[in-house]
Amino acid sequence: MQEPQVFDEADRRLTLISVLIVFLLSAMSQTVVATAMPRIVSDLSGLHLYAWATTAYLLASTVMVPIWGKLGDIYGRKPILLIGIGVFLSGSWLAGLAGEFGDLPLLGGGMIQLITARAIQGVGGGALFTIAFAIIADLYAPRERAQFSGLFGAVFGVASIFGPVIGGFFTDHGTVTLGGHVIEGWRWVFYVNVPFALAAVAMILVKMPALPPRGEGRIDYAGAALIVVGFTTLLLAITWGGQAYGWGSPMILGLLATAAISLSAFIAVQSRVRDPILPLDLFRNRTFNTANGAAFIYSMAFMGVTSFLPLYMQVGQGVPATRSGLTMLALMVGLVASSTLNGRLVTKTGIYKPFMIGGGAVLILGVFTLCFIGPDTSTLDLAWRLLIVGIGLGPGQSLFGLAVQNAVPMHQLGVATSSGQFVRQIGSTMGVALFGAILTWGLTAELGRQSAANPALQMESLELSDLQRMAMERDADPGLAEARAADPASAAADQVIRESLSRAVVYGIIFSLAVLLIGFVLMLMIPATRLKEREIAPLAAAEEAKAGAP
């Protein structure tokens, strides 16, 4: 039987710090760009490609998650993490250079260059999240890991709150002239990753233990290709459906058909190859199925709600973008505090299910209170509701993954960890798409009802892109709101939009509440096992996983 590896405590702590830096880079890369995008689009003349700068990153990072997890199992976490950081840095540097040299062969103009670079950045970003969590799982026993959940929650909160602030600061004040050449401020949004990533690389090279590979074999290239094609087309269909194309359009139906065929072929390949990307025997593990299912649903509900609340505050309530960001801080405070406290309690007691259930109940309560918001809801009134939501979210941010890691054999630790991150990202994407579709439907219905009640208004149908444009215009020109308020016709139209958007957001929150109830039922089905005190040898872990399977 293989003895568990023993690591020096100082090396473990420095490795933890470097992994937290890597995690911060990955989280920040998704939030720091948001406030810079209007200026980037203006400079690169790419308004029609606005959404693709974000979509390209999310698609690439999501579909690569299971592949990075398998690579880490086969070749070891350290070299794969370093490769992932290298790819991420290359994408960041290229994104900062987008459009600097005019049109390029094959890539075309600056916006296409940026989208391509963001996709490269996303490929590396998928490794940062996945391998970071797997390294912590290698270095610390399950019971020890729980106490770090607050740290990762804090990093996520920092990225969510300060990412947009940093992006806005560089965009507004970062423009410099070097050697007669003007470097636009938004380019530093991408360049700022470089020194932090290099510091993390130095710490990893010097202090991170040479973690041995947990698995063996070769990469299943056919499976890798099929999962990339299958989930790329599925995510494109989810992202475009109801927005760029109708759900019944040939484009969406074609993408869904391609996804179904590719994923069916992927399952067939996984059942036959010797070293699958995603071993199907994991699905015989009850903890793996129920914990990942609950994580998927909770991510879908969470992202659906939080993605559109800033838009509700800016357009539905008429508050500035800065205040909307500060209001969302209440959610992050609750999440970080709850995650930290629950992590300590789980480490102390060695059990996790009671804290999952308690967090799930509080989350349902918090989302229920959001069902009663409206255009006249004050910032403070919204903040305490978001605080409850954050407190309920805290346990789920780490305990679902911890339960899965605790239930699988060591040689499948990487692929099991990546599976959790994978379903979360798929759930988040679906949550944003479904909430957006409900929001658009609700807004159209409410505007139609208002127009029927008052024909003089003649309100036109609005899309999400229209609302986002309105929010950006009002934020860029604070006097615009005052000018519209002084005009009776504009003021009446704005009031109708505020009321209609508020009701449409509530429709989406009710949908999220229903989804959360399903997730809560799945959570109740997760086996209530104790966390392992120490890592055990692969053979013993495999036997334990078999014993826990239904």
At residue 39, the pLDDT reads 78
**Residue 542: phi, psi to the nearest 5?**
-65, -40
Fold of 284-532: Growth Hormone; Chain: A; (1.20.1250)
Question: Is residue 380 classed exposed, middle or buried when 0-12, 13-18 and 19+ CB atoms within 10 A define those classes?
Answer: exposed
Name residues whose C-beta falls within 8 Å of residue 329's C-beta, 6 or more positions apart in sequence: 161
| Ramachandran quadrant class, 87 (left: phi over 0; alpha: psi -120 to 50; beta: rest) | alpha
Q: Quick one: tokens of 46?
A: 């790419």
- Reported as a single tens digit per residue, the pLDDT across 23-38 is 888 778 777 777 677 7
Residues in the chain: 550
**Nearest of 118, 70, 123, 72 to residue 98 by alpha carbon:** 118
Q: Write b or e for each residue in 486-495: b if 16 or more Cβ atoms lie within 10 A of its Cβ, otherwise e.
A: eeeeeeebbe
Average pLDDT over residues 106-121: 86
Residue 285 has pLDDT above 50, yes or no: yes
Token pair listed for 72: 């880490």
| pLDDT value for 121 | 92
pLDDT tens sequence across 230-240: 888 888 888 77
Q: What is the DSSP letter of 317?
A: S
pLDDT value of position 86: 92
Contact 143, 532 (CB under 8 A): yes
pLDDT in tens, 358-400: 999 999 999 999 999 888 888 889 999 999 998 998 887 778 8
Residue range 521-544: mean pLDDT, rounded: 65
Give the helix ranges, DSSP H, for 350-378. Answer: 353-370
Q: How would residue 484 be classed by pLDDT, with cut points 50, 70 and 90? A: low
Give 150-204 pLDDT, tens digit per residue.
677 677 767 776 777 787 778 778 788 877 777 888 888 888 888 888 888 888 8
Question: Architecture of 1-218 per CATH?
Answer: Up-down Bundle (1.20)
Largest CA distance in the chain: 81
Q: Which residue has the tokens 């334990």?
A: 544
Least confident residue range of 1-5, 194-198, 205-209, 423-427: 1-5
Highest mean pLDDT among 218-227, 254-263, 310-319: 254-263
User: Which tokens sit at 51?
Assistant: 């959404």
CA dist 79 and 311 (Å) reads 41
d(Cα 202, Cα 17) in Å, to the nearest integer?
A: 12
Q: Give whole-number Cα distances, 95 to 84, 114, 119, 122, 514, in Å.
A: 16, 5, 10, 11, 40
Predicted pLDDT of residue 517: 93
**277 touches 415 (CB < 8 A):** yes
Q: Is residue 101 predicted with pLDDT exceeding 60? A: yes
Whether 521 shows a pLDDT value over 90: the answer reads yes
Q: What is d(CA 383, CA 275) in angstroms, rounded to the nearest whole number?
A: 49
DSSP secondary structure code for residue 147 in this structure: G
Nearest to 131 by CA among 89, 74, 92: 74
| Confidence band for 520, pLDDT divided at 50, 70 and 90 | very high
Tokens of 231: 């989930």
Helix (H, G, I), strand (E, B) or coil at 183: strand
CB 45 within 8 A of CB 109: yes
If one compares 349 and 104, the residue with the highest pLDDT of the two is 349
- Cα gap 266→276, rounded to integer Å: 10
Mean pLDDT in residue range 524-550: 57
Q: For residues 70 and 8, which has the higher predicted lDDT (pLDDT)?
A: 70
Sign of CA dihedral 426, 429, 432, 438: negative
Please tell me the predicted confidence (pLDDT) of residue 290. Answer: 92
The answer to whether residue 145 scores a pLDDT higher than 80 is: no
Residue pLDDT, tens place only, 239-269? 777 667 777 889 999 999 999 999 999 999 8
CB 3 within 8 A of CB 534: no
Q: Residues 287, 529: contact at Cβ < 8 Å?
A: yes
Whether the CB-CB separation of 25 and 189 falls below 8 Å is answered with no
Say whether pLDDT at 55 is over 60: yes
Angle 221-240/52-75 helices, nearest 10 degrees? 160
